[in-house]
Amino acid sequence: MIVTRFAPSPTGALHLGHAASALFAFRKAQEAGGQFLLRVEDIDPVRCKPAFVEGIYEDLAWLGLFWPTPVRKQSEHRDDYQAALSRLEKRGLIYPCFCTRKEVLAEAAAAGYAPHGWPQDQEGPVYPGTCRSLSQVQRQDLGQTRQAVWRLDMQKAVESVGGPLLWVDLGVGEVIARPERFGDVVLARKDVPMSYHLSVVVDDALQGVTLVTRGEDLFPVTDIHRLLQALLDLPVPVYHHHALLKDAAGKRFAKRDQANTLLALRESGLSCEDVRALALRDLGELSRLS
Ligand code: GLU
């Protein structure tokens, strides 16, 4: 069965770009007699707000979308991410890193990385591996005074899966994953024992998602997700990375632009049909990519 999902982070109000993305996923499921899921990606305790979660439900329902409840909220499933992390730890594929962000930047510069053009993952520049080979004793000592993030030992992880990893994007076709360009990415943060990369992969598998729809800004990190799927023996969904929609002035929609939120459009007097039509026009743009 086709299972699609829309997985917003409740860090702001949804805008027209989100509506188009959600409608795309909803339609794909409807056309195939499958299921559309909504998932709330609220791992960031500072930026995510319950009011935005309510706003997401209201906006999507107003647009005429429906989904099974209860909705999965990532903040309520730490055990699932912890279990995945433990599996990786048992295989020696992750290690605690005590560096601060400032230290990582200084270490990366000292290791000869150019100040511009580092491949970026969601957590910052490529980590030069300072804490990778600390001894148990050093780890215990540092752990007395500092909190650690958990990083993937990228080289070891890539070697452990052997041959090349492939994934399929509806628009681009087959992609050969090159996760090594991101270095030792963070899989569990200091403030919460998980990360975007880990939770998104675990959840898509646990929820049986077969088609992942999301913005093209996340296209590169799908390589990391594909590696995690291989390491954790998880099924590999098909991906659809759509263009990020722009406003009339050619600027990308952003959550901070209050004028383009679905709420603002609604309050300006536009009907649900009007907004759907606007989003569907954009959906045309999105679909042409697939
Ligand atoms: N939660 C992410 C966001 O709102 C999307 C992640 C995904 O779809 O994989 O940008």
- 38 in contact with ligand 1, CB cutoff 6 A: no
- pLDDT higher than threshold 70 for residue 88: yes
Please give the distance, rounded to the nearest whole angstrom, from the Cα atom of residue 288 to the centre of ligand 1. 21
30-36, long-range: CB < 8 A, 24+ apart? 32/1, 32/2, 33/1, 33/2, 34/1, 34/2, 34/3, 34/4, 34/210, 35/1, 35/2, 35/3, 35/4, 35/68, 36/3, 36/4, 36/5, 36/6, 36/65, 36/66, 36/67
pLDDT at residue 43, as a whole number: 94
Among 29-33, 160-164, 284-288, which stretch is predicted with the lowest mean pLDDT?
A: 284-288
pLDDT at 166: 98
Domain locations in the chain as residue ranges: 3-77+196-289, 80-166+173-188
Residue found under tokens 């600390």: 134
State phi, psi for 65 to the nearest 5 degrees.
-90, 155
Does the beta carbon of 123 lie inside 6 Å of ligand 1? no
- CB 41 less than 6 A from any atom of ligand 1: yes
Domain 3-77+196-289: assigned CATH number = 3.40.50.620
In tens, the pLDDT along 216-230 reads: 889 999 999 999 999
Distance (angstroms) between ligand 1 centre and the Cα of 19 equals 13
By percentage, how much of the chain surpasses pLDDT 90?
A: 73
**Which of 9, 72, 167, 286 best tests ligand 1's pocket when mutated (most atoms within 8 Å of CB)?**
9
Check pocket membership of 7 for ligand 1, CB cut-off 6 A.
yes
pLDDT score for 276: 87
Expressed in angstroms and rounded, the spacing between residue 212 Cα and the centre of ligand 1 is: 10
Average pLDDT, the chain: 90
Model confidence band, residue 131 (pLDDT cutoffs 50, 70, 90):
very high
pLDDT of residue 57: 98
Tell me the pLDDT band of 103, cut-offs 50, 70 and 90. confident
**Mutate which of 42, 169, 196 for ligand 1 pocket (most atoms within 8 A of beta carbon):** 196
**What average pLDDT does the segment 97-110 reach?**
84
CA 209 to centroid of ligand 1, rounded, Å: 14
Predicted pLDDT of residue 289 = 44
pTM beyond 0.85:
yes
- Give yes or no for a contact between 147 and 190, defined as CB atoms under 8 angstroms apart: yes
Residue 114 has pLDDT above 80, yes or no: no
Domain 80-166+173-188 has CATH 3.40.109.10: no
pLDDT at 284: 61
For the stretch 261-284, pLDDT in tens is 999 999 999 999 998 888 877 666
Centroid of ligand 1 to alpha carbon of 284 (angstroms):
21
Q: Does residue 123 register a pLDDT over 60?
A: no
* Probe residue for ligand 1, chosen from 60, 202, 218, 241 as the CB with the greatest number of ligand atoms within 8 Å: 218
Cβ(218) – ligand 1 distance below 6 Å: yes
Token pair 């360009």 is found at: 181
Atom of ligand 1 nearest to the CA of 8: 4
Give the nearest ligand 1 atom to 217 CA: 10
Nearest CA residue ID for atom 6, ligand 1: 7
pLDDT in tens, 173-215: 999 999 999 999 999 999 898 999 999 999 999 999 999 999 8
Residue 216: both structure tokens together: 């093209």
Structure tokens at 59: 């906006």
For residue 193, the CA-to-ligand 1 centroid distance in Å is 18
| One-letter-per-residue 3-state SS of the chain | CCEEEECCCCCCCCEHHHHHHHHHHHHHHHHCCCEEEEEECCCCCCCCCHHHHHHHHHHHHHCCCCCCCCCEEHHHCHHHHHHHHHHHHHCCCEEEECCCHHHHHHHHHHCCCCCCCCCCECCECCCCCCCCCCCHHHHHHHHHHCCCEEEECHHHHHHHHCCCCEEEECCCEEEECCHHHHCCCEEECCCCCCCHHHHHHHHHHHCCCCEEEEEHHHCCCHHHHHHHHHHCCCCCCEEEEECCCECCCCCECCCCCHHHEHHHHHHCCCCHHHHHHHHHHHHHHHHHCC
Between CA 82 and CA 103 the distance in angstroms is 26
22-52 residue pLDDT tens: 999 999 999 999 999 999 999 999 999 999 9
Q: What is the pLDDT of residue 223?
A: 97
Cα→Cα distances 263→24, 61, 86, Å: 20, 12, 42
pLDDT in the model for residue 285: 56
Per-residue model confidence (pLDDT) at position 118: 47
